[in-house]
């Protein structure tokens, strides 16, 4: 029997109605054996996530606020859980657990412990509701002293533990440390737990259930109702996520990627939708579009260095990059010509080091001129379908020209997986629309 690990995000477990949907999804497929829940998320836009409520409560305790305000804050958390249990008609009294957590928080439990209880309590309820075993992540997911995940120990001990349970719920977001405390991953980290569990369970599939029907081809705030990507490789996903597209925590791909386990992004509210499959290698590529997705970001600067016959000067590039290294600035792109070299960086990383960097470059390579231009937006057009396909960059340029948008830089990696164009920030949205309609809704 194959094994599926299913992770449900906070919005999928925000109230009793969502719990019912989740249970229906889990029970619809006996291969869905290991369930990783987040803490209850927002029920509507103005609502507060339980994780944020726990952080607030912890801060109130730390700042020695009045017991009244601490009680008021904690009672809201209590109400979230007790109302889910009551609405589900579940015969389970969680008040003892809630009292214990509050007490621990009042008596020096750390910030990680406080935040992790959102997942812990939710997993207790979900395990009861599903009739599954409960495995506390604290005992099977291990961090090292330096705060990084102890992958080997976690995989070995978690694997052995999972073997003992046919069906189990494992709370997301946290693990244990060598000194017996609880530590969380960064925000959104239940995605990472799901991936770690999938690897340890040698799962055939990691289903990540959220509130969208998959990864969209472009930002829905800019493109109306963008198409959903049916299949995307890990590399394409990295390119798009790096440029600002988000659905999954960045670090969630590593455990399953190394184990060759695909991730399926699914929508709890529309379980009939197939969602997006994230795979190591495409399982036969037949997308109707040449590109997989478009993403982008504003806030870049270009530092341009001009010097006649720069191309013949051995070591020129190294000397320039050394200046960036010495100033601890990482660069994004390096478009260069015969007599010019440009370094694209996130404007925020330049800060107050502009003069210092320019002076150091003057000393290092004696250029004819060096200057910085701000206000650049980068748009990445990503797709494995572009590899060896002819005319893709021509289509990108043409679409932008027709929309009367000037391309300030253009860069295509030799992997041919992406084309990056830099445009003025105030033309960013139009650029995205022009490229999207060229490739998707032409
Ligand atoms: N509950 C945590 C957060 O809000 C972790 C997660 O949902 O993945 O960040």
CA atoms within 13 A on the CB side of 193: 37
Q: pTM score > 0.85 for this model?
A: yes
Q: What is the pLDDT of residues 363-373, one digit of tens each?
A: 999 999 999 99
* Cα of 218 from ligand 1 centre, angstroms: 24
- pLDDT tens digits, the chain, 442 residues: what are they? 799 999 999 999 999 999 999 999 999 999 999 999 999 999 999 999 999 999 999 999 999 999 999 999 999 999 999 999 999 999 999 999 999 999 999 998 899 999 999 999 999 999 999 999 999 999 999 999 999 999 999 999 999 999 999 999 999 999 999 999 999 999 999 999 999 999 999 999 999 999 999 999 999 999 999 999 999 999 888 888 877 777 889 899 999 998 999 999 999 999 999 999 999 887 655 567 789 999 999 999 999 999 998 888 899 999 999 999 999 999 988 888 889 999 999 999 998 899 999 999 999 999 999 999 999 999 999 988 887 778 888 999 999 999 999 999 888 876 778 899 999 999 999 999 999 999 987 5
**Ligand 1 atom nearest to 185, measured from its CA:** 5
What pLDDT, on the 0 to 100 scale, is given for residue 286?
53
**Ligand 1 atom nearest to 119, measured from its CA:** 1
Domains and CATH numbers, the chain: 4-211 (3.40.1160.10), 293-439 (3.30.2130.10)
* Cα of 7 from ligand 1 centre, angstroms: 12
CA angle 120, 97, 180 (to 5 degrees): 60
* Minimal-distance CA residue to ligand 1 atom 2: 188
Ligand 1 binding pocket mutation candidate from 9, 37, 119 (most atoms within 8 A of CB): 119
What pLDDT, on the 0 to 100 scale, is given for residue 42?
96
What pLDDT, on the 0 to 100 scale, is given for residue 442?
55
What pLDDT, on the 0 to 100 scale, is given for residue 287?
63
Tell me the C-alpha distance between 176 and 186, whole Å: 14
**Ligand 1 atom nearest to 191, measured from its CA:** 8
What pLDDT, on the 0 to 100 scale, is given for residue 54?
98
* Cα of 5 from ligand 1 centre, angstroms: 18
What pLDDT, on the 0 to 100 scale, is given for residue 283?
63
* Cα of 249 from ligand 1 centre, angstroms: 10
**Ligand 1 atom nearest to 193, measured from its CA:** 8
**Ligand 1 atom nearest to 52, measured from its CA:** 4
* Cα of 369 from ligand 1 centre, angstroms: 48
What pLDDT, on the 0 to 100 scale, is given for residue 416?
73
* Cα of 414 from ligand 1 centre, angstroms: 37
What pLDDT, on the 0 to 100 scale, is given for residue 387?
77
Residues with CB under 6 A from ligand 1: 10, 38-39, 49, 51, 118, 172-173, 187-191
* Cα of 190 from ligand 1 centre, angstroms: 6
Tell me the C-alpha distance between 311 and 213, whole Å: 49
* Minimal-distance CA residue to ligand 1 atom 8: 188
* Cα of 187 from ligand 1 centre, angstroms: 5
Q: Is the Cβ–Cβ distance between 152 and 191 less than 8 Å?
A: no
What pLDDT, on the 0 to 100 scale, is given for residue 6?
98
**Ligand 1 atom nearest to 39, measured from its CA:** 1
* Cα of 89 from ligand 1 centre, angstroms: 26
């Amino acid at each position: 029997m194959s094994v599926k690990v299913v992770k449900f995000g906070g919005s999928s477990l925000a109230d009793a109605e969502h719990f019912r949907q989740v249970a229906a999804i889990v029970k619809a497929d006996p291969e869905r054996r290991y369930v990783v829940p987040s803490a209850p998320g927002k029920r509507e836009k103005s609502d507060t996530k339980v994780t944020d409520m726990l952080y607030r409560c912890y801060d109130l305790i730390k700042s020695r606020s009045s017991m009244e305000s601490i009680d008021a804050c904690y009672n809201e958390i209590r109400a979230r859980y007790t109302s889910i249990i009551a609405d589900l008609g579940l015969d389970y009294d969680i008040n003892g657990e809630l009292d214990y957590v509050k007490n621990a928080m009042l008596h020096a439990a750390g910030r990680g412990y406080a935040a992790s209880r959102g997942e812990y309590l939710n997993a207790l309820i979900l395990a009861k509701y599903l009739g599954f075993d409960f495995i506390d992540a604290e005992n099977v997911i291990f961090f090292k002293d330096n705060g990084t995940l102890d992958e080997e120990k976690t995989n070995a001990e978690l694997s052995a533990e999972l073997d003992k349970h046919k069906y189990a719920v494992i709370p997301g977001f946290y693990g244990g440390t060598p000194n017996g405390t609880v530590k969380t991953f960064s925000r959104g980290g239940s995605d990472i737990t799901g991936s770690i569990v999938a690897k340890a369970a040698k799962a055939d599939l990691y289903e990540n259930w959220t509130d969208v029907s998959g990864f969209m081809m472009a930002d829905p705030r800019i493109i109306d109702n963008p198409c959903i990507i049916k299949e995307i490789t890990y590399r394409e996903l990295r390119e798009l996520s790096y440029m600002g597209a988000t659905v999954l925590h960045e670090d969630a791909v590593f455990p399953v990627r190394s184990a060759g386990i695909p991730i399926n992004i699914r929508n709890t509210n529309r379980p009939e939708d197939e969602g997006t499959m994230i795979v190591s290698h495409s399982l036969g590529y037949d997308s109707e579009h040449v590109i997989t997705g478009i993403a982008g970001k504003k806030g870049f600067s270009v530092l341009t260095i001009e010097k006649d016959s720069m191309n013949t000067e051995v070591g020129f590039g190294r000397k320039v990059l050394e200046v960036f290294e010495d100033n601890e600035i990482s660069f994004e792109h390096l478009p260069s010509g015969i007599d010019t070299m440009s370094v694209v960086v996130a404007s925020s990383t330049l800060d107050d080091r502009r003069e210092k960097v320019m002076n150091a470059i003057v000393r290092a390579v004696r250029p004819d001129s060096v200057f910085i231009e701000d206000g650049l937006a980068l748009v990445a057009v990503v797709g494995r379908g572009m590899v060896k396909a002819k005319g893709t960059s021509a289509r990108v340029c043409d679409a932008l020209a027709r929309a009367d948008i000037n391309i300030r830089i253009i860069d295509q990696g030799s992997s041919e997986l992406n084309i990056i164009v830099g445009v003025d920030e105030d033309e960013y949205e139009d650029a995205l629309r022009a490229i999207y309609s060229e490739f998707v809704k032409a």
